[in-house]
Each structure stands twice: as C-alpha cells, then as structure tokens.
Structure 1
Amino acid sequence: MKLYLAVAVLMLAFVAYTEAQEQTIEERFSNFGDQVAEASKNLAEKAKATFADIQNSKFATDSRDWFQTQIDNLKAKLA
C-alpha cells in the first residue's frame, strides 16, 4: 500500500515539474517574440530616420533641383 502512495506522489511531482518546465519554455518563447518585435520596431524607426536624413541632405536637394532645372529647360526647348 505504501508503494502505491509513493508512486502516486512521484507521478504528481513529475507532472508538476513538467508543467513548470513547459511554462518557462512558453515564457521564453513569449519573451523572445517580444524582443524580436522590439528590435524590428527599433530597426524600422532607425531606417525611417536615415532615409529622411538622406532625403533632406544638401546633396539630395541640390540633385533634385538640378534635375528639375534640366527638365524645365528641355520642356522649354521642345515647346
């Protein structure tokens, strides 16, 4: 009779241990997902800021103005 009780207690302990392990694995995956989401959000913000800086740089604005002038001159010649 005591052997059955010992086996039952060991089984309950094993089940509790495996459930605790599954929760930590689930938490790890959840935390990993949150970290990936945060990193991708930060990367997107940095990329957006970099593109805005490039678009507003002096070289970019001078290039756009030069091309616009050339296109206007070409339209004037063709008209």
Structure 2
Amino acid sequence: MFLLQSTFKMKLSIAIAVLMLVFAAHTDAQEAEKSIEDHFTEFGAKLKEFTDGISVKTKDVVDKVGDSEFVTKTRTWFTEQFDKLKTKMDETFQKQ
C-alpha cells in the first residue's frame, strides 16, 4: 500500500511539473506573437517612464545645487558687487 501511495505522489508531482512547463511554453508563445504596434506602444511606455525618471532626478540635482552654500555665497557676492557698482555709477554720473 505504501508503495502505491509514494508512486502516486511521484506521478502527481511529475504531472504538475509537466503542466507548469506546458503553461510556461504557451505563455511565451503568446508573448512572441505581439504585433509591431504592441512593440511600439511598449517602447513608448518604457521611454516615457525613463524620461520621467531622468527629469525627476535632474530636478533634484538642480534643487540641491541651487540650495548649496557655495551657490548662495556666490549669488550674494555678485549681488553685493552689482549694488556697489550701481552706487558708484550713480555717484559718478549724477543726474543734473
């Protein structure tokens, strides 16, 4: 009796494995039958996903650079120099 049960379990597991292989092969065959339109649609979706990811990363980098101490100090320095130049120009060429 034990021998029959173990043989049955072995045949059942082999049958399940074979069914899974057949299902996988059938699924792959269906995927291979995509039309050119499907390929272009899929490519467009992947390209959009890629560009969206790049734009988010680029925006993050620009925000970090814009908020950095070096950029802030440089911007302040240029503003101060421009204000000094403007004041000097106003003093030199007073309106009469």
TM-score, normalised to structure 1, is 0.65
Aligned residues: 58
Q: Distance in 2 between the 1:29 and 1:76 partners?
A: 61
Report Cα offsets for 1:13-63 as digits up to 9, x if no partner: xxxxxxx93xx1232221111000000011111111111111111111100
Q: For residues 1-79 of structure 1, what are the structure 2 equivalents within 5 Å?
A: 21=33, 24-25=34-35, 26-79=37-90
Q: Distance in 2 between the 1:58 and 1:67 partners?
A: 14
List gaps (5 residues or longer) in structure 1: 1-19
Give structure 1 regions of 4+ aligned residues with deviation exceeding 4 angstroms.
none
Query: Percent same amino acid at aligned positions?
Result: 33
Q: Which has the higher helix share?
A: 1
Q: Which has the higher contact order (CA 8 A, sep 6+)?
A: 1
TM-score, normalised to structure 2, is 0.55
Please give the root-mean-square deviation of Cα atoms over the aligned residues, in Å: 1.6
List gaps (5 residues or longer) in structure 2: 1-31, 91-96
Q: Distance in 2 between the 1:30 and 1:62 partners?
A: 48
